Structure 1
Amino acid sequence: MGASAIAAPVPLAGTASAAGQSGTRSGAATAAGEAPGGPGKDARFDPADKVGFGTARGERSLAWFTLQGGRMSETYYPDLSTPASRHTELVVTDGRTFVQRVGQADTRTELVGHGGAPRYRQTSQGEGWCAVTHYVTDPERSSVVIDVEVRSQNGTPLQVYVLHDPALSGDGNDDEAYPQDGALVARDKNAASALLAEDGFAESTVGYLGVNDGWTELSENDGRLKNHYATAGPGNIVQLGRLRMDGRSRTRQTVVLGFGKRADDAVKTARRSLRSGFHASAHSYDAGWTAYLATLPQPPACLRTPGDRALYTASVVTLAASEDKKNPGAFIASPSMPWDFGSRHVVPETGPYHLVWPRDQYQIGTGLLAAGDRAAAGRALDYMLRTQLPDGHWPQNCKVDGEPFWTNIQLDETAAPMLLAWLLDRHDDSTLEQLERAADFILGYESEEGYKAPYTQQERWEEQSGYSPATIASVIAGLVCLADLLDRGGQGSKVAKYLEAADKWQESVEKWTVTTNGPDSDEPYYLRLTKNGKPNSGKKYELGNNSETPVDQRTVVDAGFLELVRLGVKAADDPVVLNSLDVVDRKIAVDTPSGRHWYRYTGDGYGEQPNGEQWTVNRPEVKTTHGRLWPIFAGERGEYELLRGDRRSAAGRLRDMARTASETLTLPEQVWDERPPVPREKPGTATASATPLAWTHAQYLRLARSLEHGAPVEFPSVVAERYVRR
Structure 2
Amino acid sequence: MTPILPALPLLLVATLAVAPAAPATGAAPGAPGVDQRYLPADKSGLLTSRTRASRVWATVQREGGLGEIFYPTAGGPSARSLTFAVTSRGGLSKATVRTEQRDGLRFRQTFAGPDWRLTADYATDPARSTVLAALSFAAPPGHDLYAIYDPALGNSRGGDSGRTAGGALLATDGAVSSALTGPFAATSSGFAGVSDGRTDLRDGRMDWHWSSAAAGNLVQTAKLRGHHPTLALGFAGSAAGALATARRSLAEGFGKVARSYAYGWNRYLAGLGAPPGSLHGTAQRKLFRTSAMILAASEDKTHPGAYVAAPAAPWAFGTDDPSGPYHLVWSRDLYQIATGLIAAGDRAGANRALDFLFGVQQKADGSFPQNSQVDGTPVWGGLQLDEVALPIVLAYQLGRGDAWPGIKRAADFLVAYPGAPFTPQERWENQSGYSPNTIATAIAGLVCAASVARSHGDPAAARRYLATADSWRARVRSWTVTSTGPYSRKPYFLRLTKDGDPDAGTTYAIGDGGPAAVDQRRVVDPGFLDLVRLGVLPAADPDVVNSLAVVDAQLGVRTPRGFFWHRASFDGFGEQLDGSPWEYGEPDGSLVSRGRAWPLLSGERGEYEIAAGDPRAAAARLAAMTRATGPGGMLPEQVWDRTAPAGGPGFAPGTPTFSATPLAWTHAQFLRLARNLAERRITEQPAVVADRYLGRR
Which of the numbers 576, 580, 595 marks the counterpart of 1:609? 576
Q: CA deviation at 1:619?
A: 5.3
Look up the equivalent residue of 1:721 and give its one-letter code: D
Q: What is the CA distance between 1:90 and its match in structure 2?
A: 1.2
Tell me how far 1:233 sits from its aligned partner.
2.2
- Match among 28, 31, 36 for residue 35 of structure 1: 28
Compute the RMSD of aligned alpha carbons. Answer: 1.6
Within a 5 Å distance, the mapping from 1:479-498 to structure 2 comes to 479-498=446-465
In 2, distance between residues paired with 1:607 and 1:37?
A: 35
Q: Is the 8 A contact 1:327 1:400 kept in 2?
A: yes
Q: Aligned ranges for residues 310-459 of structure 1 at < 5 Å?
A: 310-344=286-320, 349-385=322-358, 386-428=360-402, 431-446=403-418, 452-459=419-426
Equivalent pairs: percent with the same residue?
Answer: 49
Within 2, Cα distance between the matches of 1:227 and 1:179? Answer: 13
Q: Aligned partner of 2:100: which letter?
A: E
* 2:158 paired with 1:170: no
- 1:224-303 to 2 correspondences below 5 Å: 224-245=205-226, 251-303=227-279
Between the aligned partners of 1:227 and 1:119, the Cα distance in structure 2 is 34
**1:516 pairs with 2:483:** yes
Structure 1 residue 82 corresponds to structure 2 residue 72: no
CA distance in 2, matches of 1:105, 1:487: 65
What residue in structure 2 maps to residue 184 of structure 1? 169
Rounded Cα–Cα distance in structure 1 between residues aligned with 2:646 and 2:481: 35
Aligned counterpart, 1:52? 45
Q: Which residues in structure 2 correspond to 1:149-228 (within 5 Å)?
A: 149-152=136-139, 155-197=140-182, 199=183, 201-219=184-202, 222-228=203-209
Aligned pair count reads 672
Q: Specify the code of the residue in structure 2 equivalent to 1:89.
A: T
1:99, 1:218 within 8 Å by CA — same for their partners in 2?
Answer: no
CA, structure 1 residues 398+440, in 2 after alignment: closer, same or farther (shift >3 Å)? same
CA separation of 1:92/1:86 partners in 2, compared to 1, >3 Å: closer, same or farther? same
Q: Is the 8 A contact 2:336 2:669 kept in 1?
A: yes
Partners of 1:591 and 1:558 in 2: how far apart? 17
**1:687 aligned onto 2:657:** yes
> In the alignment, what sits opposite 1:64?
57
Deviations 1:521-548 (A, max 9, x none): 1111110000111111111110011124
Q: Residue type of the partner of 1:39?
A: P
- Alignment partners' CA distance in 2, 1:157 and 1:149: 16
Amino acid at match of 2:584: V
Can you list the C-alpha shifts for 1:192-233, whole angstroms capped at 9, x where unaligned? 110000x3x2111111111111110111xx211222111112
Q: Is the 8 A contact 2:23 2:208 kept in 1?
A: no
Give the C-alpha shift of residue 180 in structure 1.
2.0
Q: Report the 3-state secondary structure (helix = DSSP H, G, I; strand = E; otherwise coil) of the residue aligned with 2:485.
A: coil
Q: Is the 8 A contact 2:86 2:144 kept in 1?
A: yes
In structure 1, the partner of 2:11 is none
Task: State how far apart, in whole Å, the 1-side matches of 2:270 and 2:452 are.
Answer: 32
Q: Secondary structure at the match of 2:280?
A: coil
Q: Distance in 2 between matches of 1:97 and 1:586?
A: 54
Once the 2 structures are TM-superposed, how far is the Cα of residue 237 of structure 1 from its aligned partner?
A: 0.9
Please report how far the alpha carbon of residue 30 of structure 1 lies from its aligned counterpart in structure 2 after TM superposition.
Answer: 8.6
Q: Equivalents in 2 of 1:678, 1:466: separation in Å? A: 33
Q: 2:618 aligns with which of 644, 650, 655?
A: 650
Contact 1:106/1:124 (8 A) holds in 2: yes
The corresponding residue for 2:510 is 543
Name 2:16's counterpart in structure 1: none
Letter in 1 for 2:616: R
Tell me which moved more, 686-695 or 620-629: 620-629
Partner of 2:644: 676
CA drift at 1:623: 4.8
Show CA shifts across 1:108-167 (max 9, x none): 111112xxx111110101132100000000000000011011111xx3232111100001
CA contact (8 A) 2:283 2:626 kept: no
Superposed, 1:86-125 pairs within 5 Å as: 86-94=80-88, 96-98=89-91, 105-113=95-103, 117-125=104-112
- Partner in structure 2 of residue 572 of structure 1: 539
Shift of 1:663: 3.7
TM-score (norm 1): 0.91
- Give TM-score scaled by structure 2 length: 0.94
5+ residue gaps, structure 2, are 1-19
Partner of 2:3: none
Q: Secondary structure at the match of 2:311?
A: coil
The 2-side partners of 1:593 and 1:674 are apart by 11
The alignment partner of 2:138 has SS state of: strand
**C-alpha distance in 2, partners of 1:608/1:637?**
24
Q: Which residue is equivalent to 2:470?
A: 503
SS of aligned partner of 2:219: strand
Aligned to 1:123, the other structure's residue is in SS state strand
